[in-house]
């Protein structure tokens, strides 16, 4: 019998550079997921829509992981260079049918958004007693593109703080400026946090899950495959790729949710337990 998917009560967000919506855990807190929405979306709509992304056991992300705190940052509203409109977006895109056309248009937004994500990661790690390895970064569509650059430009995390993020979760996304060496990609953003170079200990040690539907017409699946290959080439030890025949530019249900549960269970919790146990924080040793 499917469990209830009624929405947990959102709690007010603490002050940060990025406005956020926070959904508190319903069990003793163990981890935080920071989840970036897509272009034209909002933090509140993504938080609401995740209640309808169900596993084969009828669980949403919130009920599958009751000990997780969920943080949904809101992208700023910006004028689009290719449209006579303003959208909520992490960075601008010149041509959504050819993401490599005038790639430089993406840089100002990424230069502003990535440090904001870094500060949010630091805030949430502080909430978890400095444990960066209990903070998961997720994104869908443009949120995934921003998240991957946030990780690629993240300074090394000390071993006493976990040495990595809990996971990087990327849904129907792409990697802007793929095809370049990591050092060149970092130099394009020009952030002071990384110092350049072609090595990323954070990426190397952070487990990555990519999910993409083959019938995605907004961000064709070839973009996701290139992002997978890029992260592996940059040294990612665990880069898991899940491709689904149908689902469009969105989450695949129930298989995608089942794959997320299995991935988190094996790479974040580090145990191989039935989903019923994953949904019970008291059944796990989180020390």
Q: What is the C-alpha to C-alpha distance for residues 181 and 179, in angstroms, rounded to an integer?
A: 7
Q: Are 40 and 88 in contact (CB under 8 A)?
A: yes
Q: What is the pTM of this model?
A: 0.88
Could you tell me the two tokens for 101?
């056309």
Chunk the chain into consecutive blocks of 10 residues (it has 287) and report each block's average pLDDT, rounded to whole numbers: 42 63 95 96 96 96 97 91 83 74 85 95 96 97 97 93 96 95 91 73 96 96 97 96 97 97 92 44 38
Q: Are 167 and 208 in contact (CB under 8 A)?
A: yes
**pLDDT value at position 194?**
63
Q: Are 242 and 251 in contact (CB under 8 A)?
A: no
- CA 181 to chain CA centroid, nearest Å: 22
**pLDDT value at position 196?**
60
* CB atoms closer than 10 angstroms to residue 18: 21
**pLDDT value at position 5?**
40
Residue 179 is given by DSSP the state T
Q: Are 173 and 144 in contact (CB under 8 A)?
A: yes
Q: Are 169 and 256 in contact (CB under 8 A)?
A: no
- CA 279 to chain CA centroid, nearest Å: 21
Structural domains in the chain plus CATH codes: 10-283 (3.40.50.1820)
Could you tell me the two tokens for 127?
């909430």
Could you tell me the two tokens for 114?
């990535």
Backbone torsions φ then ψ of 68, nearest 5 degrees: -90, 135
Which among 42, 43, 73, 61 has a CA at the least distance from the CA of 3? 61
**pLDDT value at position 285?**
36
Concatenated DSSP letters for 119-139? Answer: HHHHHHHHHTTT-GGGEEEEE
């Amino acid at each position: 019998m499917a469990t209830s998917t009624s929405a947990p009560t959102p709690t007010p967000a603490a002050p940060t550079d990025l406005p956020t919506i926070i959904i508190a855990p319903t069990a003793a807190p163990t981890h935080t997921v920071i989840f970036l929405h897509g272009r034209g979306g909002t933090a509140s709509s993504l938080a609401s829509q995740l209640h309808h992304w169900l596993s084969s056991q009828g669980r949403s992300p919130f009920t599958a992981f009751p000990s997780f705190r969920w943080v949904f940052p809101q992208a700023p509203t910006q004028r689009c260079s290719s449209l006579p409109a303003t959208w909520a977006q992490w960075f601008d895109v010149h041509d959504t049918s050819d993401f490599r056309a005038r790639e430089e248009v993406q840089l100002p937004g990424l230069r502003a958004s990535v440090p904001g994500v870094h500060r949010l990661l630091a805030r949430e790690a502080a909430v978890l007693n400095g444990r960066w390895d209990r903070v998961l970064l997720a994104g869908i569509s443009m949120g995934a593109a921003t998240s991957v650059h946030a990780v690629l430009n993240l300074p090394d995390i000390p071993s006493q703080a976990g040495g990595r993020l809990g996971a990087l979760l990327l849904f129907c996304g792409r990697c802007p400026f793929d095809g370049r060496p990591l050092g060149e990609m970092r130099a394009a953003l020009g952030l002071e946090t990384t110092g350049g170079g072609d090595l990323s200990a954070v990426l190397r040690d952070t487990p990555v899950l990519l999910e993409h539907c083959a019938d995605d017409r907004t961000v064709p699946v070839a973009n996701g495959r290139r992002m997978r290959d890029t992260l592996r080439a940059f040294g990612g030890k665990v880069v898991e790729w899940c491709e689904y025949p149908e689902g469009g530019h969105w989450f695949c249900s129930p298989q995608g949710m089942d794959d997320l549960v299995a991935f988190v269970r094996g790479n974040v919790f580090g145990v191989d337990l039935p989903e019923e146990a994953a949904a019970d924080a008291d059944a796990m040793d989180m020390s």
